[in-house]
Structure 1
């Protein structure tokens, strides 16, 4: 997209009279050109930009859209820096910029772009494009987002008849077609949390490309991912609506049973669970709604984990125990009224087996 187009569009935004409400707090934004040529030994090169983009309304809108597009993608892997600083230099540059303050943003971005180009030379999946690097804050957390965005073209109607051409070709940045992107939750990294790196998980070399660039160890914890998935689908079951009405108890139970059965089948066969396919299968009515819920999980869920049966406990069955007793029941018992939670937080059991009643009577009468 040419600078003249950006400047013209910026004037429209400023003159529209509508004040834009930003979704993130933009600190820095820059783009470098990633060029990939055929039949050339050094077939991937970086054409760096001389300075960061100005923090205009359009720049803010771009970062907001880029963040939202990335966040809405359910197929992501999460991890942490692998510590192999000789092989993957990006983690060195991140420390120099965010911790040591040895680099300004422009120099840091060029180092990161060159690290990306080095990995692109090793990947058949890599393509050229605009390398956007954005530093911003969202929900009091600092982020660095790196994405490769390509130009697209569309035919637009020119309503200025005196110009002669009624139709014209207009270039734009294709954010919806985002395939190569990764993000660092800088706040989580500084707080020594477990998962602060993420990247879009495509197929084959697409995933490996950005994984290597970010120096990401994406070792998956099947149990924690299963527990996070369980938490999200339970909240989803209580919040989702059909025809503006919450799910009935029967609909909710059917949905959760479907989730439980799907996950257990995957666990039994040691198959990876992919969030997009999972959403399509268990909630075909509106899979996008479930995908969004999974993508927005407070605890990141890695795409491609193998469900762990222990993490499914509570999805259909409830269990609890103290020093002297243990209790287990499923949701159907609640639906049929056999389990009731009373106002004093005690639990009332109905339809108790006769042999248990007889044993209790003998015990109590003999004491």
Structure 2
């Protein structure tokens, strides 16, 4: 789906570590241009690919976390235009940055983007990069440009999901140093979902879908599933935070991007950097279900080894190699005629 930029604006926050910051604010939106469209597309593409994202919702405390109130005034109440809204957001960003001694500044781009039926608010902090270029006179000159490869802070609010009352609609990059990047989370006013079990169930579902989409043999996909489960189980046992990058590199080392792309897409809602819930992980290696008077539970190996087979059309499961003690117990109460 092609992105359409409805409004965009650029500001600057100047701040050195252990010092108070200052703002340089633009008083009008950026004019439409191919350069702007290209930049928004590149930011969106870079953001989608980056691992280390977290997902959540706005803090209910809008006095200390006013970003939700500012965005509501523009997108829902239409009481403030995009420029005024961006200025209010920059004031919040400055306050939160000044609360973090190690935080530094950069160029801040804010944009209202539509993607089909969805509306997004995108914000990112970028730094300049100096490189070399050849000018029209064939001279070597310095060329200054925004460095998207080292994008440290970026966030996206799905305005459509938010106003529709959905549970998760804010995503943001956690950054290399959580101590420094936490101020950006506080600027967004985003709170993490409190139920790790739900996060793990969401992760398991996304992983299963991603593995099923791999261009591979059934055996290769089973190996990938096993590697993923072993990695996540080790995270649980050792109290290690999940890393999507590490997961993809281990499970599909020849082409980790094939797994990374669906798992890092902001629309997937998969958070990075939490310790998975042990019981919820079993969805990767176990099937279970129940009816009015029965319950069944079995591991994936029972299917791959041919001991259990499902006929979806007849809704029947066939079980082979039933143990003798179960047969004896069954026949005791239900003897054959």
Q: Is the TM value for this pair above 0.5?
A: yes
- Assess if the C-alpha contact under 8 Å between 2:120 and 2:158 holds in 1: yes
CA distance in 2, matches of 1:38, 1:216: 24
Q: Which runs of 5+ in 1 are unaligned?
A: 1-21
283, 288, 312: which is aligned to 2:281? 312
342, 347, 366: which is aligned to 2:317? 347
Question: Does 2:200 match 1:230?
Answer: no
In the alignment, what sits opposite 2:22? Answer: 45
TM-score, structure 2 normalization: 0.91
The alpha-carbon distance between structure 1 residues 219 and 125, as it changes in their structure 2 partners (threshold 3 A), is farther
What is the CA distance between 1:28 and its match in structure 2?
Answer: 0.3
In the alignment, what sits opposite 1:12? Answer: none
In the alignment, what sits opposite 1:258? Answer: 227
What is the CA distance between 1:298 and its match in structure 2?
Answer: 4.4
In the alignment, what sits opposite 2:261? Answer: 292
Question: Does 2:43 match 1:26?
Answer: no
The alpha-carbon distance between structure 1 residues 346 and 298, as it changes in their structure 2 partners (threshold 3 A), is farther
What is the CA distance between 1:24 and its match in structure 2?
Answer: 0.8
160, 174, 178: which is aligned to 2:147? 174
How many residue pairs get aligned? The number is 335
Q: Which runs of 5+ in 2 are unaligned?
A: none
The alpha-carbon distance between structure 1 residues 340 and 83, as it changes in their structure 2 partners (threshold 3 A), is closer
- Assess if the C-alpha contact under 8 Å between 1:220 and 1:302 holds in 2: no
- Assess if the C-alpha contact under 8 Å between 1:220 and 1:305 holds in 2: no
What is the CA distance between 1:115 and its match in structure 2?
Answer: 1.3
- Assess if the C-alpha contact under 8 Å between 2:109 and 2:125 holds in 1: yes
What is the CA distance between 1:299 and its match in structure 2?
Answer: 4.1
The alpha-carbon distance between structure 1 residues 83 and 340, as it changes in their structure 2 partners (threshold 3 A), is closer
Q: Point out the structure with max Rg over C-alpha.
A: 1
- Assess if the C-alpha contact under 8 Å between 2:211 and 2:259 holds in 1: no
Alpha carbon RMSD of aligned pairs, Å? 2.2
- Assess if the C-alpha contact under 8 Å between 1:230 and 1:315 holds in 2: yes
In the alignment, what sits opposite 1:8? Answer: none
TM-score, structure 1 normalization: 0.84
CA distance in 2, matches of 1:197, 1:364: 57
Instruction: Please list, as runs of the form range in 1=range in 2, the aligned pairs for 1:1-367 lying within 5 A after superposition.
Output: 23-36=2-15, 43-158=20-135, 160=136, 163=137, 165-202=138-175, 203-241=177-215, 246-247=216-217, 249-296=218-265, 298-342=267-311, 343-365=313-335
Q: In the TM superposition, what whole-angstrom CA distance separates every residue of 1:18-64 from its partner, at most 9, and x where no partner exists?
A: xxxx8212110110121225797xx3111111211112222112112
Q: In the TM superposition, what whole-angstrom CA distance separates every residue of 1:76-135 from its partner, at most 9, and x where no partner exists?
A: 122222122332222221121122211111111111112111212122332222110000
CA distance in 2, matches of 1:366, 1:37: 84
CA distance in 2, matches of 1:220, 1:276: 23
